[in-house]
Structure 1
Amino acid sequence: MKCNFLNTWCLAVCFTAAIASYGQHTKATTGPVFDNIGPVYTVTHLDHKPDTSKQLKAIFDVDRKQSDPSQLNTIISSLHRYYNLHVRYGFPKEQIHLAVILHGGATKDALSAAAYQDKYKVENPNIELIKSLSEMGVEIFLCGQSMSHSGYNKADLLPEIKVALSAMTVLTVYQMDDYALIKF
């Protein structure tokens, strides 16, 4: 078979059209729940189709930190993505029940503006992430063991943060209450 420009061009156009018709989109967008956080891709022609009548219950285990304290903890913003992608797919917001436990390296993300500024000499970039999740009804916990080990107390935390006995305790109790564990 002779390969020429026209054949190559036709093949490229057909391949591009096939990808486009399959419904995969290469640009992530935000919304419909969070307009500036949590970009997700619209995916069509799914082989696994979630039942949108189900209740989605998940507990996120967040223990990693960004090495640069001026950067967002992208694991926390995964909860925003979770809301955006499931509501976009057709799950009502009221059927989504999320919680998060911060511990280990993510302990610093729970700090108030003043405590964070004092410790890291920059603004806490996670304040709006945490506030917006709390406004959605997400339970946001900090491991009391990690808090104490790091030398902080309740007065050093954002008002949206609830102190737990330990991350292990929160993870155990939420999983006993049928929350799926999401760990990155």
Structure 2
Amino acid sequence: MRIAVGALALLVAAPAWGQAYPKAVPSAGVPQDIPAAMEKPDRSLQYRVLFDVSEPNRDKDQPHQTLRRAGSLLNAMAANGVKPEAGAVAIVVHGAPDANLLTDAAHMKRFGKPNPSLALLEELAAAGVSIRICGQSYLARGYARDELHPAVQVDLMAIVTIANLMAQGYGVVRDD
């Protein structure tokens, strides 16, 4: 009897597991639903999330891993009916990964190949993510403003941006 009840529960739940969820960021992943998960995106909360991006790309031919994580978070939120306000998710890039914010032309000129993060960057911007680069990294690399994707905001220093956003209630997610 228990086996029959368990099998019936699996049959009823199976369509939900295979269900396609809406994607706020089409090229980012969507986590599989966990029906009994204790923590899920909550429509009653006002999210303010800052991704602090300073680690280099693990795979230079793929979009930066933390940009993908930001996209996955937005997709998990969308799948649970949560749509953060524009700017409520921010990405601050400083140091090694700042090449992810270049246009394809600039990336091609500097590295001999298109920017693997460009499509994801555009999708994040379209989803309302605030994308920032540390002005000190920008100057140290000798970037011209037209080399950066138009959605990228140049700030004085990453540490100032991080401190300001934390003071405004943003939680910080460090890249790994």
Same fold (TM over 0.5): yes
Question: Is structure 2 residue 153 aligned with structure 1 residue 162?
Answer: yes
Q: CA deviation at 1:55?
A: 0.7
Match for 2:133: what amino acid?
Answer: L
Superposed CA RMSD: 2.9
Distance in 2 separating the partners of 1:150 and 1:179? 28
Question: Is structure 2 residue 56 aligned with structure 1 residue 65?
Answer: yes
Q: TM-score normalized by structure 1?
A: 0.78
Moved more, 85-94 or 166-175: 85-94
Matched position secondary structure for 1:182 = strand
Residues 54-74 of structure 1 show CA distances to partners (whole Å, capped at 9, x for unaligned) of: 111101101122255332112
Between the two proteins, the alignment pairs up a number of residues equal to 170
Distance in 2 separating the partners of 1:40 and 1:79? 12
Q: Which residue of the other structure, out of 91, 108, 115, is the alignment partner of 1:117?
A: 108
Rg larger in 1 or in 2? 1
Q: CA deviation at 1:145?
A: 0.9
Matched position secondary structure for 2:25 = coil
Moved more, 25-34 or 171-180: 25-34
Q: TM-score normalized by structure 2?
A: 0.81
> In the alignment, what sits opposite 1:174?
165
> In the alignment, what sits opposite 1:4?
none
Q: Which residue of the other structure, out of 71, 76, 82, is the alignment partner of 2:67?
A: 76
In structure 2, the gaps of 5 or more residues are: none
Matched position secondary structure for 2:165 = helix
Moved more, 109-118 or 147-156: 147-156
Residues 113-142 of structure 1 show CA distances to partners (whole Å, capped at 9, x for unaligned) of: 111101111110111111111112211000
Q: Which residue of the other structure, out of 92, 113, 129, is the alignment partner of 1:138?
A: 129
Hey, which bits of structure 1, 4+ residues long, moved more than 4 A?
23-30, 93-96
Could you say which structure has the greater relative contact order, defined with CA pairs below 8 angstroms and 6 or more residues apart?
2
Q: CA deviation at 1:26?
A: 8.7
Residues 94-121 of structure 1 show CA distances to partners (whole Å, capped at 9, x for unaligned) of: 4982010011111111112111101111
Distance in 2 separating the partners of 1:65 and 1:78? 14
Distance in 2 separating the partners of 1:88 and 1:178? 24
Distance 1:158 1:63, change over 3 A: same
Residues 31-76 of structure 1 show CA distances to partners (whole Å, capped at 9, x for unaligned) of: 3323332221211112335542111110110112225533211211
Matched position secondary structure for 1:76 = helix
Contact 1:64 1:105 in 2 (8 A): yes
Question: Is structure 2 residue 123 aligned with structure 1 residue 129?
Answer: no
Q: What is the percent sequence identity of the aligned residues?
A: 24
Q: Which residue of the other structure, out of 31, 36, 47, is the alignment partner of 2:27?
A: 36
